[in-house]
Structure 1
Amino acid sequence: MKGPVTESVTRPLPLGRLRELARAATGSAEERHRCELCGEIVPDAHRHLLRLPSRELSCACRACAVLFDRANARAGRYRAVPESRERLPGTPVDDVGWAALGVPVGLAFFVRHDDVTREQPDTGDDCDDGDGGDGGDDGHDADASGAGEGTTVMAYYPSPLGVVGTDVDPQAWERLVRKQPSLSRLEPEVRALLVHRDIGEQWLLGIDECYRLVARVRGTWSGMTGGDEVWHEIGRFFAELRGDGVPA
């Protein structure tokens, strides 16, 4: 496992994808989308596959997505992004624990990366984001530390320039998993822990939901600090999660 780094890396999503995600978030999609495997037209709320090693999100119909839901599909080129959302009980990490994770802001998501794919940037095709659901495979293949051999945890947080990412100290992450065993279910690459410390919420959800949040932040950010509208938009995003999510 690699150790922490001191510099953050900005990983902007392509403008085309950001526009599509923003349209999906506001319900104003202007064109039909198709499954990128079979070509079938898919509804606005559809599944995604993560293509490796490029980490591109691909639109998928339900039939094609199901093919990659099983854990043994991890050995292939595609991984299914889970639909399930799980709100974790309790309060997010305290100030000391958060500082140890090395995240300078109170809104961030954490992803386990296989070391063989970790260095690839986040890129992708023009693809809108679905609204998630209550199904999907949990991919319970992590070890007790929630990290696993050959994986590294990174923290990402939205900014007006895209996604800023930084390595997480492995020991700090292991301490967090010991306090919150649910994090052992953090399936590599496709599932994230999303934390909003200001409102005291933390969720396990698909990585596409996190990119949807990033798109909404970028689309409403103004000035140096973001402005009131960006925080209203973030509040709406979490209200949507509470409306559809299943409490732990």
Structure 2
Amino acid sequence: MTGPARTRGLRRFTAPRPPAVERCELCSLPVPETHRHLVDSERRALVCACTACALLFDREGSGTGRFRTIPGRWLSEPEDRLDQRGWHALGVPVDVAFFFRDAARGRLVALYPSPAGATESQVDPAAWDAAFAGSALAHALAEDVEVLLARRTDERVTCHLVPVDAAYALVGRLRRHWRGFDGGPRARAELDAFFAEVDRRSVPAPAPAPPAASRGATP
């Protein structure tokens, strides 16, 4: 093979390859770049899903406990509930963390970004109760599929409830850009951009419903 024919043959190996098509991990149908995710509670993993499979395993329609569709709600705390003392009591050594209820293990878990990805630590239930007593977000938090995202600054600690896949996407973004001990300016810029998006998308969480009156109590 010589000349133009050889050049065309080599181009197959040197030209950029088209991106791989993402597929639903349950039915193998192609999914768009923006698609839903499920939580596989047995593997503690995120699963790409088409719209039909996401609806099939939605909380109300699911026939199994293994897969759960991740909701799309983004909530903010109507008022600050967590102060610096409560933050330290939770045992988080950095300024950003997300907390979720691990149904399979029956415990609260804290995860926070690091150069190696998400670092995990167990949360003392007493510290959690003290830190988030009366919190609308803690009351609304769904097991496995949502996280309570907290960020500490010099002035305050802000909290939001976001989908668990959004939190893991943040960890991945920070890991790609992490430099040095504290992440460096690019990682901090990514963090600021993420929280600006969280603020834009969040709506105030509804106040927890008061406990039902005891049966037989007089009005």
Q: With the length of structure 1 as denominator, give the TM-score of the two structures.
A: 0.69
For 1:109 and 1:59, the matched residues in 2 are separated by: 22
Counterpart residue number, 1:32: 21
User: Which has the bigger relative contact order, CA under 8 A and spacing at least 6?
Assistant: 1
**What does 1:166-177 correspond to in 2, within 5 Å?**
166-177=121-132
State how far apart, in whole Å, the 2-side matches of 1:106 and 1:164 are. 13
> Structure 2, unaligned stretches of length 5 or more?
1-17, 206-219
Q: 1:43/1:62 Cα in 2 relative to 1: closer, same or farther (>3 Å)?
A: same
- Report how many aligned residue pairs link the two structures: 186
SS across alignment from 1:178:
coil
Q: How far off is 1:74 after superposition?
A: 7.7
User: Is there any run of 5+ residues in structure 1 with no aligned partner, and where?
Assistant: 1-28, 119-150
Instruction: Give the letter for the 2:160 counterpart.
Output: W
Match of 1:165 among 120, 126, 130: 120
CA contact (8 A) 2:111 2:118 kept: yes
Tell me what 2:32 maps to. 43
Deviation >6 Å, runs of 4+: none
Given that residues 92 and 195 in structure 1 are in contact (C-alpha distance below 8 angstroms), is that contact kept between their aligned partners in structure 2? no
CA distance in 2, matches of 1:54, 1:170: 24
Partner residue in 2 for 1:25: none
Q: Retained in 2: the 8 A contact 1:193–1:203? A: yes
The TM-score, its normalising length taken from structure 2, stands at 0.78
Is residue 239 of structure 1 aligned with residue 196 of structure 2? yes
Work out whether residues 191 and 206 of structure 1, in 8 Å CA contact, stay in contact via their aligned partners in 2. yes
- Root-mean-square deviation (CA), in Å? 2.0
Written as runs of structure 1 = structure 2, the 5 A alignment for 1:44-59 is 44-59=33-48
Deviation at 1:103, TM superposition (A): 0.9
CA–CA distance in 2 between the matches of 1:98 and 1:74?
Answer: 38
| Identity score, percent | 41
Q: Which residue does the alignment assign to 1:225?
A: 182
Question: 1:162 Cα deviation (Å)?
Answer: 1.1
Deviations 1:190-209 (A, max 9, x none): 11000112274311111101
Question: What CA distance in whole angstroms lies between the structure 1 residues aligned with 2:188 and 2:64?
Answer: 39
